[in-house]
Amino acid sequence: MTADIDGLLAQIRQQQEDVARIQRGVETMEVKGASRGNEVSVTLLGSGRFTDIAIDPEAQRRYNAEDFGAIVLEAVNDGLTKLAEATKARFAPILGSTAAASPDRTG
């Protein structure tokens, strides 16, 4: 019985190390998002920190402030969605295929 417990504890320690390794990788990855027309693009790190927002100068002239704000928001949301998908994909081997395929309920 002690061997079973020792084996289980070793498995748990290995999973914790795997999670920590994957988390470090996620935090350093870079993800790009864009508006539908690519008028605005954003770059963010796996930590969720935005590092760049690029705006097509023509878009600034073409849209009013409200519409332009919606375009920027679209690019930001695209980047966050791609970050969530990339993070889920990185953790899929640990979580198993059923957890990776389940819908996101964080809303």
Q: If you average pLDDT over every residue of the chain, what do you get?
A: 86
Tell me what pLDDT residue 1 has: 67
All domains in the chain, ordered by first residue: 2-101 (3.30.1310.10)
pLDDT higher for 32 or 97?
Answer: 32
Alpha carbon 42 to chain centroid distance? 13
Pick the more confident residue, 101 or 57.
Answer: 57
How long is the chain?
107
Predicted local distance difference test score (pLDDT) of residue 68:
94
Q: How many Å apart are CA 7 and CA 89, to the nearest integer?
A: 28
User: Which pLDDT score is estimated for 52?
Assistant: 97
Residue 97, pLDDT > 50, answer: no
Looking at the chain, the whole-number percentage of residues with pLDDT higher than 70 is: 89
Q: Could you give the maximum distance between any two Cα atoms of the chain, in Å?
A: 73
Residue 91 has pLDDT above 50, yes or no: yes
CA dihedral 28, 46, 50, 60 (to 10 degrees): 110
DSSP E strand stretches across the chain:
30-34, 40-45, 50-55
* Tens digit of each residue's pLDDT (9 = 90 or more) over 10-48: 888 988 888 888 888 788 899 999 999 999 999 999 999
What is the per-residue pLDDT for 20?
A: 86
Q: Are strands 50-55 and 30-34 parallel, antiparallel or unpaired?
A: unpaired
pTM of model > 0.75: no
